[in-house]
Chains A and B, each alone.
Chain A
Amino acid sequence: MGFRDLKLLEIKNITVTFETDEGIVKAVDDVSFHVDRNEIVGLVGESGCGKSVTALSILRLIPLPYGRIEAGEILFYGKNLLDLNHKEMRKIRGRAISMIFQEPGAALSPLHTIGRQMVETILLHKDITKKNAWNIAETWLEKVKISDPGERMFAYPYQLSGGMQQRVMIAMALMLEPDLVIADEPTTALDVTIQAQVFELVREMRRFNTSMLLITHDMGVIWEMCDRVLVMYASKIVEEGNRDDIFLKPTHPYTIALLESIPKLSADEGRLKAIPGQVPSALNYPSGCHFFDRCPDAFDRCRNEKPELIDLGNGHRAACFLAKNEL
Chain B
Amino acid sequence: MDTEQHVFLRKMNYKQPKKSPVLEAYDLQTWFPIKRGILARTVGYVRAVDIASLYINKGETLGLVGESGCGKTTLGRTLLGLEKARRGKILFCGKNLLELDRRELREIRRRMQIIFQDPLTALNPRMNVIDIITEGLVEFRLIEGTREDHAKRLMNEVGLDEEAIYRYPHEFSGGQRQRINIARALSLRPDLIVCDEPVSALDVSVQAQVINLLMDLRDRYNLSYLFISHDLSVVSNIAHRTAVMYLGKIVEYGPTGDIINKPMHPYTKALINAVPGPDFKEIEHKRKRIILKGEIPSSSAPPSGCMFHTRCPEVMDICRERAPREMKSGLHGVWCHLYS
Interface code A256-277, partner B: CB below 8 Å = 1, 0 otherwise? 0110011111111111111110
How far does the Cβ of B293 sit from chain A's closest Cβ, in whole Å?
8
Q: Can you report 18 A-B residue pairs in the complex whose CB atoms are below 8 A from each other?
A: A191-B67, A192-B275, A193-B274, A194-B67, A196-B289, A200-B291, A218-B276, A219-B204, A220-B276, A261-B204, A264-B237, A265-B275, A266-B237, A269-B7, A269-B240, A269-B256, A278-B173, A278-B205
B147 to chain A: which residues have CB within 8 Å? Answer: none
A224 touches B276 (CB 8 A): yes
Cβ of A321 within 8 Å of any chain B Cβ, yes or no, is: no
A263 touches B234 (CB 8 A): yes
B236 touches A267 (CB 8 A): yes
B277 touches A224 (CB 8 A): yes
Interface code A25-47, partner B: CB below 8 Å = 1, 0 otherwise? 00000000000000000000011
How far does the Cβ of B61 sit from chain A's closest Cβ, in whole Å?
9
A193 touches B278 (CB 8 A): no
A267 touches B257 (CB 8 A): yes
B231 to chain A: which residues have CB within 8 Å? Answer: 192, 263
B275 touches A263 (CB 8 A): no
Cβ of A75 within 8 Å of any chain B Cβ, yes or no, is: no
Interface code B274-296, partner A: CB below 8 Å = 1, 0 otherwise? 11111110010000010110011
A263 touches B67 (CB 8 A): no
How far does the Cβ of A200 sit from chain B's closest Cβ, in whole Å?
5
A278 touches B206 (CB 8 A): yes
Interface code A120-159, partner B: CB below 8 Å = 1, 0 otherwise? 0000000000000000000000000000000000000000
Interface code B219-232, partner A: CB below 8 Å = 1, 0 otherwise? 00000000000111
Given known contacts A191-B68, A247-B278, A267-B257, what 14 new A-B pairs fall within 8 Å (CB)? A192-B230, A192-B231, A192-B275, A196-B289, A197-B292, A223-B276, A224-B276, A261-B207, A262-B277, A263-B208, A266-B236, A269-B237, A270-B237, A275-B208
Cβ of A81 within 8 Å of any chain B Cβ, yes or no, is: no
Cβ of B233 within 8 Å of any chain A Cβ, yes or no, is: yes
B68, B176, B205: the one contacting A257 at CB < 8 Å is B205
A267 to chain B: which residues have CB within 8 Å? Answer: 236, 256-257, 260-261
B238 touches A269 (CB 8 A): yes
Interface code B179-218, partner A: CB below 8 Å = 1, 0 otherwise? 0000000000000000000000001111111011001000
Q: Which of B139-173 contact A (CB under 8 A)?
A: 173
Secondary structure at the B interface, as helix, strand, loop or mixed, is helix
A163 touches B10 (CB 8 A): no
A218 to chain B: which residues have CB within 8 Å? Answer: 204, 276
Cα separation A223 to B277 with both chains bound (whole Å): 5
A262 to chain B: which residues have CB within 8 Å? Answer: 204, 208, 233, 277
Cα separation A269 to B260 with both chains bound (whole Å): 12
Q: Chain A: residues with CB nearer than 8 A to chain B? A: 46-47, 161, 163-164, 191-197, 199-200, 217-221, 223-224, 247, 257-258, 261-276, 278-279
Name A48's closest neighbour in chain B (CB-CB): B203
Cα separation A117 to B329 with both chains bound (whole Å): 54
Cα separation A221 to B236 with both chains bound (whole Å): 19
Report the interface size class on chain B: 35 or more
B67 touches A265 (CB 8 A): no
Given contacts A258-B204, A269-B256, A270-B7, contact A191 B230 (CB under 8 A): yes
A197 to chain B: which residues have CB within 8 Å? Answer: 291-292
Cβ of B121 within 8 Å of any chain A Cβ, yes or no, is: no
Residue with the greatest number of chain A CB neighbours at <10 A, chosen from B237, B240, B296: B237
Cα separation A261 to B289 with both chains bound (whole Å): 25
How far does the Cβ of A63 sit from chain B's closest Cβ, in whole Å?
22
A265 touches B232 (CB 8 A): yes
Given contacts A263-B234, A266-B260, contact A192 B271 (CB under 8 A): yes
Cβ of B250 within 8 Å of any chain A Cβ, yes or no, is: no
Given contacts A269-B10, A272-B212, contact A279 B205 (CB under 8 A): yes
Residue with the greatest number of chain B CB neighbours at <10 A, chosen from A164, A224, A273, A278: A278
A164 to chain B: which residues have CB within 8 Å? Answer: 295
B295 touches A271 (CB 8 A): no
A258 touches B205 (CB 8 A): yes
How far does the Cβ of B332 sit from chain A's closest Cβ, in whole Å?
13
Cβ of B239 within 8 Å of any chain A Cβ, yes or no, is: yes
Listed from nearest, the 6 A-B pairs whose CB atoms lie closest are: A220-B276, A220-B277, A267-B257, A274-B208, A272-B208, A275-B205
Cβ of B273 within 8 Å of any chain A Cβ, yes or no, is: yes
B278 touches A163 (CB 8 A): no
B234 to chain A: which residues have CB within 8 Å? Answer: 263
Cβ of B3 within 8 Å of any chain A Cβ, yes or no, is: yes
A47, A196, A217, A258: the one contacting B274 at CB < 8 Å is A196
A47 touches B203 (CB 8 A): yes
B236 touches A195 (CB 8 A): no
Cβ of B76 within 8 Å of any chain A Cβ, yes or no, is: no
A265 to chain B: which residues have CB within 8 Å? Answer: 232-233, 236, 260, 272, 275, 277, 279-280, 283
A261 to chain B: which residues have CB within 8 Å? Answer: 204-205, 207-208
Name B261's closest neighbour in chain A (CB-CB): A267
Given contacts A278-B175, A279-B205, contact A195 B274 (CB under 8 A): yes
A263 touches B233 (CB 8 A): yes
B238 to chain A: which residues have CB within 8 Å? Answer: 269
A46, A161, A193, A272: the one contacting B237 at CB < 8 Å is A272
Cα separation A222 to B3 with both chains bound (whole Å): 32
B236 touches A263 (CB 8 A): yes
A196 touches B7 (CB 8 A): no
Residue with the greatest number of chain A CB neighbours at <10 A, chosen from B68, B176, B206, B211: B206
Cα separation A263 to B234 with both chains bound (whole Å): 5
Cβ of B93 within 8 Å of any chain A Cβ, yes or no, is: no
Interface code B236-274, partner A: CB below 8 Å = 1, 0 otherwise? 111110000000000000001100110000000011111
B230 to chain A: which residues have CB within 8 Å? Answer: 191-192
Cα separation A264 to B238 with both chains bound (whole Å): 11
B273 to chain A: which residues have CB within 8 Å? Answer: 196
How far does the Cβ of A107 sit from chain B's closest Cβ, in whole Å?
19
Cα separation A264 to B272 with both chains bound (whole Å): 11
